[in-house]
Amino acid sequence: MDWHLFGHDWAVNLLQNHAAGGKRRHAYLFIGPEGVGRQTLAIKFAQALNCREAPSPGQFCGTCRDCRQLEGMQHPDLSLLIPEEGHRDILIDQVRSLQHTLALAPYSASYRIALLPDFQRATIEASNAMLKTLEEPSDKVVLLLTANDLESLLPTIVSRCEVIRLRPASIESTEAYLQSTQGIDPEKAKLFAHLSSGRIGAAIKLSDDQEHLGQRDEVLQTLLALIPANRVERFKTAENLAKPYDKAREKASEILPIWLSFWHDVFVKASGADVPLVNIDLDEQIGEIAGLLSIESARNLVVVHEKALQKLDLYANVRLLLETLMLQWPYFIAQPSQS
């Protein structure tokens, strides 16, 4: 069967050749932003390697037991390495446990598959421990790692993998795909294509997640309402956003990327750059605010939000973090129009 993976034909052709022609490597590293198709491509490659009823070399049937179990992440020869409950990082003990499993012969498939999504979350100790497996691979083991970018990984990890770089598709082609293949109406397809920045997996997920879209709208409308608000009103909003206190960090991790996307759009407008907006449905409001800011001011708003997001885990007081960001927002007496 066709791999049915939009926008990554070159990667599919490469992996099909590796699965079909004995060019298989022992480790593959899929690089790209979340939602671009990294894990989907990795699983399809695992299916191509292990399908017993493949219609042709490098393909997979999608219906045999191995294909179905791999797709459902339930195959006995598939090992998944993700942070344990209550932890943000992949720990060295997890890697050691994985190595013990990979030392065993495959139970039923041709190859044991180790799927290591978002391996940038591995600690330095865990990454160093993984080097042993990468340096001395078993003939019956294939490791499939994913990560956001190469810079987040140890160079020694990268050098031992076949690197597959995945990039988002164009906004226009993503929009067309959502309409023709997913049956999404043109207005929503345009919005999802922009919100996902061409990451088709993220776009499809958005189309199925109305709750997330509603939360996004609420966050952005609150931001717009605070542009003409005074310090007291902004601080009151920050206090409410930081409740309940045991969920404050989790809530902030959802809010900050939305704020960042908005101010990035403002910077794009202020600079006149020929770059698609993310929040295309707020084009008018973004343009009005951008027209009242200098390019440097708009850029600084992006920088402070990027730094806050990167350092969120280091802040003991999330409410104070939100207040600090709000203090740096511009204040305009005339509120931008809202849709």
Q: Are residues 255 and 214 in the same domain?
A: yes
Q: Within a 10 A sphere around the Cβ of 9, how many other Cβ atoms?
A: 10
Both 240 and 187 in one domain: the answer is: no
What is the domain extent for residue 133? 9-165
Give domain status of residue 336, yes or no.
Answer: no
In terms of domains, do 179 and 122 share one? no
Q: Does some domain include residue 178?
A: yes
| pLDDT at res. 313 | 79
Residue 47 lies in a domain: yes
Structural domains counted in the chain = 3
Does 156 lie in the same domain as 21? Answer: yes
Query: Which residue has tokens 């219906």?
Result: 63
What is the rounded CA–CA span in Å between residue 192 and residue 207? 7
Same domain, 175 and 265: no
Dump pLDDT digits (tens) for 33-71: 999 999 999 999 999 999 999 999 999 999 999 999 999
Q: What is the pLDDT, as a whole number, of residue 21? A: 79
52 with 115, same domain: the answer is: yes
CA distance 161 to 157: 7
- The pLDDT of residue 333: 62
In-domain check, residue 214: yes
pLDDT of residue 2: 74
If asked whether residues 97 and 202 sit together in one domain, one would say no
Residues of the chain scoring pLDDT < 70: 1, 333-339
Q: What is the pLDDT of residue 339?
A: 47
Whether residues 132 and 265 share a domain: the answer is: no
Same domain, 51 and 186: no
Asked, for residue 333, whether it belongs to a domain, the answer is no
Asked whether residue 3 is assigned to any structural domain, the reply reads no
CATH of the domain at 42: 3.40.50.300
Looking at residue 130, what is its pLDDT? 95
In a domain, 91, yes or no: yes
- Residue 109 is classified by DSSP as S
Residues 44 and 159 in one domain: yes
27-31: strand order across its sheet: 78-80, 112-116, 141-147, 27-31, 162-165
Q: Are residues 312 and 221 in the same domain?
A: yes
Do residue 180 and residue 147 come from a single domain? no
Per residue, the 3-state secondary structure of 16-75, as one string, reads HHHHHCCCCCCEEEEECCCCCCHHHHHHHHHHHHHCCCCCCCCCCCCCCHHHHHHHCCCC
Report CA 285 to chain centroid distance, whole Å: 27
In a domain, 261, yes or no: yes
